[in-house]
Amino acid sequence: MEEKTEIPSDAPASCPGPTSEKAGKLDGCAGCPNQKLCSSGEFKSDVSPAEVKKQLLGVKNKVLVLSGKGGVGKSTVTAEIARGLASLDFSVGVLDVDVCGPSLSRIMGVNGETVHKSSSGWSPVYTVDDIAVMSIDFLLGSEEDAVIWRGAKKNGMIKEFLCSVDWGELDYLVVDTPPGTSDEHLAIVSLFKQSKIDGAVLVTTPQEVALSDVRKEINFCKKLRIPIIGLVENMSSYTCTKCKTKSQIFPATSGGGAALAAAEKIPLICSLPLDPRVGCSGDNGLSILNEAPDADISEGYRTLADKIVEFCKPK
């Protein structure tokens, strides 16, 4: 919706302007052809992007983790990106905007914590490695509470997060998102209008069913001009711990992440193997980078962190 600040040519002389609080509501507005739209607030400037910009002034780089497909490891990748960056001595925050399925607090090892609101906003929860975490999970009463909200209400919560969390000074804010291309994603892009999104990491698994959803997400990023840092192919293969046979759990019937990255002309940052230790670590809020630092998957996550740092460096 375009902003309309000028007095319309067919407005009465007493017109307060379409963006005024009194727009459409004065006695003189009666009979004006614009009255209905004006009084609906249609032309009022949305101040949220400016508020978000103010709240994020101390955040140097904002990175989204996206996928059209569910269950490819967005939250896990978000957590390990944050931990990887923290291990490089950056100050990092993570925000979970998956309002209906907030997994991040458990994966980061801080589920069950509560947050407090002060005059400067909501204070994030800090992990043992000093990563600031904010998730709706912290605001829900019990682990059984469901967030049964339609899109507009979800947008409101995301706005609240971005406008009211006291992040302080951060080098990186990494944002975990739900699958799809809907309200939450549009809300984020719209709210970040004035404070830029520095880059997006896209996550896929190798099979075509996943790639076809991620292709849509890549098109979403291109359409909305979100810079793409690159693609991560997760769950690439599994090496049997007993006999070392490598199996393709989700066969790359159409070339996997490599083919998708090549076709879309984006970098394939890394291919992460399916390591059973990740599932257990995630459930227990531990990092695979700490639990198995020499594992191939940990090497992959370190490559990912390095790539993000390189991409976000001032040009």
Partner 1 sequence: MSGADVTTEVYAGTSDVKKIVGVLSGKGGVGKSTSVAVLAFNLAYKGFSVGVLDADLCGPSLSKMIGLKGNIHSCDQGWVPLSQSVGEGKISAISLSYLVDNQDQAVIWRGPKKTAMIKQFLQDVCWGKLDFLLIDTPPGTSDEHMTVMECVPNCSVILTTSPQAVAAADVLRQVTFCKTTGANILGIIETLSGFVCPTCSDCSLLFNKGGGQRLAEHCKLEFLGSVPIDPNLSKYLDSGTLGSNRDTCVSYQSYDAIVDKLLGIMGVKCLNISAEDGG
Separation of alpha carbons 97 and 113, rounded Å: 17
DSSP classification of residue 71: T
Q: How far is the CB of 247 from partner 1 (least distance, A)?
A: 7
Position 137: which residue type?
Answer: D
Q: Does 157 bind partner 1 (CB under 8 A)?
A: no
Q: 66 and 177 in contact (C-beta within 8 Å)?
A: yes
Q: Does 12 bind partner 1 (CB under 8 A)?
A: no
Q: Does 225 bind partner 1 (CB under 8 A)?
A: no
Q: How far is the CB of 48 from partner 1 (least distance, A)?
A: 16
First to last CA, the chain: 32
Dihedral, 7, 11, 15, 17 alpha carbons, nearest 10: -30
Residues 127-146 that bind partner 1 (CB under 8 A): 143-146
Separation of alpha carbons 16 and 298, rounded Å: 60
Identified binder of partner 1 from the candidate list 242, 265, 313, 315, rule CB under 8 A: 242
Q: Does 126 bind partner 1 (CB under 8 A)?
A: no
Nearer to partner 1, 27 or 143 (CB): 143
- Rounded to the nearest 5°, which phi and psi values hold at 6? -80, 150
Cα distances from 245 to residues 240, 242, 251, 278, 281, in angstroms, run 5, 8, 15, 19, 23
Q: Which stretch binds partner 1 (CB under 8 A): 82-90, 166-174, 212-220, 288-296?
A: 212-220
Nearer to partner 1, 178 or 199 (CB): 178
Q: Does 1 bind partner 1 (CB under 8 A)?
A: no
Site string for partner 1, 176-195 (x = CB under 8 A): --xxxxxx-xx---------
Separation of alpha carbons 155 and 158, rounded Å: 5
Residues that bind partner 1 in the complex, under the rule CB under 8 A:
68-72, 75, 100-101, 103, 106-107, 143-152, 154, 178-183, 185-186, 205, 207-209, 212-213, 215-217, 219-220, 223, 238, 240-243, 245, 247-251, 253-254, 274, 276, 279-280, 282-283
